[in-house]
Amino acid sequence: MSEKHNIIPVWFFVGVLFLVYGVLILGSGIAEWSHPPNTVLADLHAPVWWGALLIVLGVVYCGAFRPRQ
């Protein structure tokens, strides 16, 4: 993104955000698997597949835009 300043690309920070949130949300989804929260459509276990999606995106972004010397 930056030619003059050599700043870490913003996409890397996006990847970090996805990765951390993915781990937290997936972990939460697995932990509540047998006792789903009292929300509509809780039986779909949205946190599990949404968290997994975030982890995949996080890994891709962090890998593709990791800071280089």
Partner 1 sequence: MTAILGMLETGRLVRLSAVDLAIVIFYFALVLGIGFYLKGFAKTGEDFFLAGREMTAWVAGLAFVSANLGSLELLGWAGNAYQYGILAAHWYWIGAIPAMVFLGLVMMPFYYISKTHSVPGYLQLRYGSAASGLSAVTFAIMTILMSGVNMYAMAVVMKVVLGWDINFSMWVSSLTVGVYVAAGGLFSAIFNEVLQFFLIWFGALLIPILGLYETGGWKGMVERIQQNFPGQDFTHMWGPMHSFSSNPMGIHWTGIVFGLAAVQSMGYWTTDFLVVQRVLSAKDIRSAKMAPIIGSFFKMAVPLIVILPGLLGLAVLPMHLVPNSPHLPPGQHSYDEVLPLMLVRYCGPGLLGLGVTALVAGFMAGMAGNVSAFATVWTYDIYRPFLKKNAPDQHYVSMGRWCTIIGLFISIGTAYLAMRSESLMDYVQALFGFFIAPLFGTVLLGMLWKRVTKAGGFWGLLAGTLTSITLFLLMKASPHWVAIFALSPEAKGLAQAMYQSLWSCTTCVVVTILVTLVTKPRPDEELRGLVYSLTDVAKEKHASLLHKPVFWGITAMALLVILQIIFW
Give residues in contact with partner 1 (CB under 8 A): 1-5, 7-8, 10, 13-14, 16-18, 20-21, 24-25, 27-29, 32, 36-42, 44, 46-47, 50-51, 54
We find the least distance from the C-beta atom of residue 26 to partner 1, in angstroms, to be: 8
We find the least distance from the C-beta atom of residue 66 to partner 1, in angstroms, to be: 15
Residue 36's CB is within 10 A of a number of other CB atoms, namely 15
In the bound state with partner 1, the residue whose beta carbon lies nearer, of 44 and 64, is 44
